[in-house]
Amino acid sequence: MKMRYPDPFQHLAENQRERPAKVHPIHPSPAVAEGIGHVRAEREWRRRRAFLFPLSLIAVDALMIVLAFYVAYWLRLTIEFPPPVAIPPFTEYTGMLSIHVAALLTTYFFHRLYKRKRALSHIDEFGRVVASTSIGVVLALAATSFIYKNSLDYPRLMIIYAWALTILFVAAGRIVHARLQWALQGRHFAPEHVLIVGAGETANIILRAIQRSPGLGYRAVGVVTVSGYPVLEDLSVPLLGTTDDLPRLIDVYGVDEVIIAVPEATHREIVHIIGKCEREKVSIKVFPDLFQFMAGEMSISDLNGLPLLTVRDIALRGWKLAVKRLVDIVVSATALVFLSPLMLVIAVLIKLESPGPVFYTQERMGLDAKPFQMLKFRSMRQDAEREGPGWTRPNDPRRTRVGAFIRRYSLDELPQLINVLLGEMSIVGPRPERPVYVEQFRRYIPRYMDRHREKAGITGWAQVNGLRGDTSIAERTKYDLWYVENWSLTLDFKIMLMTLVRIFTDRNAY
């Protein structure tokens, strides 16, 4: 009997057929119309409450800067190498401290550190704090020298202490503040009401992202349909109407933000929708199509005076490939040495629990779509694929007990460090797929095969952004293409750090 491989696009094709939408249109009655004024007042109240977040963040930063300055002064007095000079009492430094705080807070403000993005990672914020603090300390020193004109000694070692401690304390304070803010927003403190334009698969992806991260502070009030585009029946929020109802819906529901989730719409249609959404103090965001996603880093060049837009300037080539390979060798070799005792324990436990090999090898497609044998610790029964290849499922019954544990913490991926050392994979890159799935994906997803211009990775940009397991292949491809186009060594290290964090914070049920 010929085996049929599961088609991961089957559910998408079925759900996105044109169906009559169960729309709940808005026809404001006189009572509802009178209530619009109350809705607007309530929206203003939510915005005033939300304004407490940046104000409290400024207070936290100021407190951390003062604390860092004081600890730097105390360290200079305490550490006797090099021998401290005659340092006056701390009260003599209060004027200098005021300048220090003012310079740093001003620098943070102009570096937009008080306009915090909702999904900004701690790693990104730490980098911005390092850069802004370095500039702010230099400005503070310049202002202090101009005002005091050498009338007050400011030990150079104390400057270094203050700079390093300010970075650490401010970063730590911001992590605590962010966690508290996310917790409050998860409890609907000052939520932002979001209305999504479009009712297809893209809208479903956005809704899942909002529901998966309640700490972002979004509350999806519903979606509106766009004429001529698919409508899903299983959306988790109600269909409120069509794009013609947008002006009334924004008023009735006190909408703060509109997300246009129709990436396949023409520019004319997008402009028309934006025109319907233009209301005072309403933010508008557009989910990009594939070209816009690719062209996020467009640059302007010329051909003998003729201006051209550079859409694809391959980031990974030349000496950068050598640097990436060097990092792969160093990281994989070091990790294999330090993790070898853990890998030995896992191998013994797998062998003791169930019959079969310790390692599970599977053909995957790598660089230039060449197949290679990817290594993993076996986490399922030996006969798990007796009915043919298939996607793993949440709480997959084919897992062994040891397999469930190692999959939860992604320990089953450790043998892929050997693939990296052999040059078949990289630490960071697009995750490889099986040849049978690649053949399916390349027919449905534009530019899917461009993922194979780089080596496959143990982890990747899509995975650290929550797109792993049974998630949209189309969305994963967009993230992978963005990584290929925007590669940098800094981005690779960031993805590695984010992966370590997610191993201990995410519950991988696959």
Domain membership flag for residue 276: yes
| 93 and 216 housed in the same domain | no
Mean of pLDDT values over 373-401? 73
Whether residue 132 lies inside any domain: the answer is yes
Do 399 and 251 reside in the same domain of the chain? Answer: no
Q: Examine residue 38 and state whether it is found in any structural domain, yes or no.
A: no
The answer on 232 and 158 residing in a single domain is: no
Distance CA 276, CA 260 (A): 11
Q: Is residue 131 part of a domain?
A: yes
Total Cβ atoms within 10 A of residue 319: 7
Q: What is the mean pLDDT of the chain?
A: 80
Does residue 323 share a domain with residue 260? no
User: Residues 72-91, buried b or exposed e (16+ Cβ, 10 A)?
Assistant: bbeebeeeeeeeeeeeeeee
Q: Are residues 255 and 278 in contact, defined by beta-carbon separation less than 8 angstroms? A: no
**Nearby residues of 228 by Cβ (< 8 Å), 6 or more positions away:** none
Q: In the predicted model, is pLDDT for residue 304 greater than 50? A: no
| Res 448: pLDDT | 83
In a domain, 56, yes or no: yes
Do 356 and 267 lie in one domain? The reply is: no
pLDDT confidence bin for 426, thresholds 50/70/90: very high
Residue 499 and residue 371 share a domain: yes
Alpha helices, DSSP H only, in 187-266?
201-212, 246-252
Q: What CATH number is attached to the domain comprising 234? A: 3.40.50.20
Of the ranges 54-63, 376-385, 487-496, the best mean pLDDT one: 54-63
- Domain span at residue 226? 15-33+191-287
State how far the Cα of 165 lies from the Cα of 171, in Å rounded to an integer. Answer: 10
Largest separation between any pair of C-alpha atoms in the chain: 92
Q: Are residues 266 and 349 in the same domain?
A: no
Predicted pLDDT at 387: 62
**What six digits make up the tokens of 430?**
């697009």
From 287, 311, 339, the end of a domain falls on: 287
Both 181 and 223 in one domain: the answer is: no
- State the burial class of residue 443 (Cβ atoms within 10 Å of its Cβ: 0-12, 13-18, 19+): exposed
The pair of three-digit structure tokens given for residue 349, joined into one six-digit string: 């436990």
Residue 267's Cβ-side half-sphere holds a number of Cα atoms within 13 Å equal to 2
pLDDT at 250 over 80: yes
262, 152: one domain: no
Strands 257-260 and 371-377: unpaired
- Residue carrying the six token digits 């290290």: 493
- Is 500 within a domain? yes
28 against 204, higher pLDDT: 204
13-71 pLDDT, tens digit each: 344 333 444 444 444 444 444 455 566 667 677 777 778 888 999 999 999 999 999 99
Q: How far is CA 213 from CA 118, 121, 202, in A?
A: 10, 13, 17
Q: What tokens appear for 110 in the block?
A: 């102009």
Confidence grade of residue 416 (pLDDT, cut at 50, 70, 90): very high
Q: What percent of the chain has pLDDT over 90?
A: 25
Q: Could you tell me the two tokens for 228? A: 């001529």
Least confident of 51-60, 171-180, 264-273, 381-390: 381-390
End position of a domain, from candidates 140, 159, 186? 186
3-state secondary structure of 120: coil
What does DSSP say about strands 283-286 and 359-365: parallel, antiparallel, or unpaired?
Answer: unpaired
Residues 248 and 355 in one domain: no
User: Per mean pLDDT, which range of 116-125, 285-294, 487-496 is the poorest?
Assistant: 285-294
pLDDT band (50, 70, 90) for residue 276: confident
Tokens read off for 68: 């860092």
What mean pLDDT do residues 120-146 have? 88
pLDDT value for 295: 46
CA angle, 217 then 219 then 221, to 5°: 165
Q: What gap in Å lies between CA 208 and CA 213, rounded to an integer?
A: 9
pLDDT over 80 at 308, yes or no: no
- pTM over 0.95, yes/no: no
Find the helix or strand (DSSP H, E) in which 463 lies.
helix 461-464
Q: In this structure, are residues 220 and 207 in contact, taking their beta carbons and an 8 Å threshold?
A: yes
- Which pLDDT score, from 0 to 100, does residue 2 have? 36
Q: Is residue 100, in this structure, part of any structural domain at all?
A: yes
| Same-domain check for residues 200 and 180 | no
Residue 510 included in any domain: no
CA distance 370 to 424: 10
The answer to whether residues 336 and 395 belong to one domain is yes
Out of 169, 186, 203, pick the residue that ends a domain: 186
Q: What are phi and psi of 115, to 5 degrees?
A: -110, 70
Q: Could you check whether the bond before residue 82 is cis, i.e. omega within 30 degrees of 0?
A: yes
Q: How many domains does the chain contain in total?
A: 3
